[in-house]
Amino acid sequence: MSIRSIRARLTLWYTSLLTVTFLLLGGTAYGLLVYSLSHDMDAALNGVAEALAKQTPQRFTTFPPSNIDEVFRRFFGFSRLDRHFEMLDPFGRRDPRWSRPRPGRLPLSPKVLQNASAGLPTFETVKGMGPYPVRVLTMPVVEAGRVISLIQVGMSQKNLYITRRRFLLTMGAVFPLVLVLAGGGGWILARRALRPVDRMTEAARRISAEDLAERLQETGAGDELDRLAKTLNEMLGRLDAAFHQIRQFSADASHELQTPLTILKGELEVALRSARSPDDYQRTLKSALEEIDRIAHLVEGLLLLARADAGVLRMDRQPLDLAQIAEEVYGQGKVLADAHAVTLHLGPVEPVSIQGDPERLRRLLLNLVDNGIKYTPPGGEVTLSLERDEEWASLKVSDTGIGLSPEDLERVFQPFYRAAETRSRGEGGAGLGLCIARSIAEAHSGRIQVESSLGRGSTFTVRLPLHP
Ligand code: ADP
């Protein structure tokens, strides 16, 4: 029985508690029993002594009264041979006229005599008068304020000893039995109560990163173990989702890297197949460089996301005027907008000072403006504005473009996600831009939101805390 198992510890605790309770109860019962038996005996001795004192006022001549048996029976319920009685003069002397032969004599200690002369009764337990100690009461008989004689009555404590021994024997026999029964019962109960834990341990052992879809069995009883199973299942659900996301991310990242690499490889192979003119080589190299740029851009994006996820995204924070960044991005966006035949407006721009990394914030804003232009058909409009809103700087990029469906709205900030509309048209990039934008906003303790309706346009809002 390993003490490291909860079952063993529970049983041990339970049995120890039961032992202490049993000993306390048994001890109290034993004490009460002895006290009440002794008390009853003293009361009966007192009764007998008083009855004898009343019946024998003439003292020595009429002692013991003829109904001595009946007197003992009246107070003890029986009159055994091991009873004792004596009548003495105030100095403890026996009446010489009392000729009836008697075995042994009740002892009379100086203390008893002293008490008696003061008119006080004394109880004593005397050993050596038989197999059991004898309880003796010495009672002075007082008449007109004077002690005229002493009455001694005694009774063997045989009954007390026998009852006491029986009680102890019964307890001694019952206690181990109760202990064994309770210990065994406790062990079985603990095993039953903890069986679900064993099952959970077994099930948890089976679950690995490969089969996170498996769940622990919930009993539905609503008890602690059921709640534990529920909590573990919820945790497994979150782990499953996280693992799924990671797998999806790796698959998407590989796929996005594979496409430009395949193009690159194909172009170089074709170029190497036969001798080309310098112009052909120039074209091939230019195209290869474009693919390499795409790959580099993608890898840089992935690295940024990985660092942001790990919480180690380096930020060159400094006080800056967001209005200045908005105007710079507007300047860059204008060129892109013109190329797409889209009009880019600069809406109200308030001077707002915040603490941030200018390079990353420029990238965030350019991403949004670039998206606005990319996903707005020619002739449409994109507006960039900056407002102050209580404790926040609020950067807005709205467009009159293709918009997003409610399902897309929920997922546009996920890595590699592209709206159905964009996918079907083969437009857009790798789908990392918004995810990076969100990471940059969050690294500035800000957040990014989108409102959009399909076919009408979208508004992306970035809220960043003001510089205190
Ligand atoms: P991408 O490089 O594909 O633009 P993003 O992360 O920037 O990646 O955007 C993810 C997807 O969100 C886009 O593919 C596009 O479908 C959708 N999206 C982003 N901005 C807009 C917008 N202004 N209007 C409509 N759809 C947009």
Query: Distance between CA atoms of 429 and 370, rounded to whole angstroms?
Result: 11
Query: Distance between CA atoms of 41 and 155, rounded to whole angstroms?
Result: 8
pLDDT at 206: 84
Mean pLDDT along residues 220-237:
89
Residue range(s) in the chain whose domain bears CATH number 3.30.565.10: 318-465
pLDDT: which is higher, 225 or 31: 31
The CATH number of 245-310, from 1.10.287.130, 3.60.10.10, 3.30.930.20, 3.40.50.970, is 1.10.287.130
Taking all residues of the chain, what is their mean pLDDT, rounded to a whole number? Answer: 88
CATH number for region 6-163: 3.30.450
pLDDT over 60 (residue 43):
yes
Which CATH superfamily does the domain covering 318-465 fall into?
Histidine kinase-like ATPase, C-terminal domain (3.30.565.10)
Picking from 64, 27, 32, 41, the residue whose alpha carbon sits closest to that of residue 132 is 41
Site to probe by mutation for ligand 1, drawn from 259, 422, 450, 456 as the one with most ligand atoms within 8 Å of Cβ, is 422
Confidence class for position 213, pLDDT limits 50, 70, 90: confident
165 close to 131: Cβ distance less than 8 angstroms: no
Site to probe by mutation for ligand 1, drawn from 336, 367, 371 as the one with most ligand atoms within 8 Å of Cβ, is 371
For residue 413, which atom of ligand 1 is closest to its CA? Answer: 6
Q: Are strands 146-156 and 134-143 parallel, antiparallel or unpaired?
A: antiparallel
140 close to 120: Cβ distance less than 8 angstroms: yes
pLDDT over 50 (residue 101):
no
Instruction: Give the DSSP H/E element, type plus range, for residue 370.
Output: helix 358-374
Residue range(s) in the chain whose domain bears CATH number 1.10.287.130: 245-310
- Tally the C-alpha atoms within 13 A of residue 253's C-alpha that lie toward its C-beta: 18
pLDDT over 90 (residue 436):
yes
pLDDT at 303: 92
Mean pLDDT along residues 425-446:
87
Site to probe by mutation for ligand 1, drawn from 412, 425, 436, 456 as the one with most ligand atoms within 8 Å of Cβ, is 412
Query: Distance between CA atoms of 121 and 46, rounded to whole angstroms?
Result: 9
pLDDT at 426: 63
For residue 141, the one-letter residue type is: V
pLDDT at 63: 66
CB-defined site of ligand 1, < 6 Å? 371-372, 375, 399, 401-404, 412, 417-419, 422, 428-435, 458
Considering only CA atoms, which residue is closest to atom 13 of ligand 1?
418
Residue range(s) in the chain whose domain bears CATH number 3.30.450: 6-163
Picking from 384, 407, 406, the residue whose alpha carbon sits closest to that of residue 460 is 384
Length of the chain in terms of residues written: 468
Picking from 190, 159, 207, 231, the residue whose alpha carbon sits closest to that of residue 11 is 190
Taking residue 272's Cβ as centre, other Cβ atoms within 10 Å add up to: 10
Considering only CA atoms, which residue is closest to atom 21 of ligand 1?
371
Considering only CA atoms, which residue is closest to atom 2 of ligand 1?
429
Picking from 242, 360, 259, 245, the residue whose alpha carbon sits closest to that of residue 301 is 360
Taking residue 89's Cβ as centre, other Cβ atoms within 10 Å add up to: 14
pLDDT over 70 (residue 324):
yes
Picking from 138, 465, 164, 116, the residue whose alpha carbon sits closest to that of residue 319 is 465
